[in-house]
Amino acid sequence: MASPYPQTSPRRYARITGVLYLVIFFLGPFAFFMGRSGVFVPGDPSGTIGNLISSQLLFRLGMVAETAIVLIEIVVSALLYVLLRPVSRPLALASSFARFAQSILQAVTLFTAVPALLLLSGQNYLSAFDPGQQNALVLLFMDINAFVIMIWGLLFGFHLLLLGYLVYRSGFWPKILGILLLIAALGYLAQSYGHIVVPQYDDMLAKIVVILSIPGELAFTLWLLIKGVNEKRWEERKGDSLR
């Protein structure tokens, strides 16, 4: 029976994944600071709406960056599955599916941002709402947007949890990378659950996730770019999984 594994070098797949990770590292902050974070003023509805009106172009550019990230995430999900299935096919599938689901929810955040822009567009049909109602709806959609972000963060944290475990067990990546990814997973899970349970601590939780996540994600990205993967060990694990 023909092997289900591709003939393309796993190191090449790893480096392609590293390049895509790096693109996400650059696009992510742009999408975040040009998008919701760039216009949202906590506790100040008029300030938020004023920023959204005056910075619509930047907000839209943030949305463009977000769409690019969504597409890249789908490809990364598939590549990570190919790289990790010699370790455990079921867990590799679960990890990649969690990341894919996260990318779908990222796309959903765009659907919650678009109505906010439409409500401020001045279209004739909006005359059915008075200005106060329009402003309230804008803020409602922005709040929904924030909540969906936390939900996809939960899925991403679960993905990192499985990814860290698989990397730790792999034998073709250093165990320290797996440990760092597990720590990053705890940051995302803490932020998402914290937003649901204790939303008043959102600012503190946002700092925690940055501190816990960047070392692991950056180290994994650089390893993929520079070293790729230990091909000999990868081939050995692949052979073991086929027995």
pLDDT bracket for residue 87 (50, 70, 90): very high
> Which pTM does this prediction carry?
0.87
d(CA 88, CA 134): 51
Tokens matching residue 53: 């009106």
Q: Angle at the Cα of 180 (from 153 to 202), degrees rounded to 5?
A: 35
Beta carbons of 213 and 231 less than 8 angstroms apart: no
Q: Tell me the C-alpha distance between 4 and 12, whole Å.
A: 18
pLDDT digits over 26-57, tens only? 998 888 776 666 677 666 667 777 777 777 88
Does pLDDT of 195 surpass 90? no
Q: Side-chain half-sphere of 31: how many Cα atoms within 13 Å?
A: 20
**% of the chain beyond a pLDDT of 90:** 53
Summarize pLDDT for 93-130 with one digit per residue, the tens: 999 999 999 999 999 888 887 877 777 776 777 778 78
Task: Give, as one character, the DSSP assignment of residue 243.
Answer: -
Domain spans of the chain, in order of start:
10-242
The pLDDT of residue 24 is above 50: yes
- 174 DSSP 8-state letter: -
Of the candidates 205, 29, 59, 30, the one whose C-alpha atom is nearest the C-alpha of residue 141 is 59
| Nearest CA-CA partner of 166 in 157, 177, 156 | 177
Q: Which two tokens stand for residue 235?
A: 């081939």
Average pLDDT over residues 143-166: 92
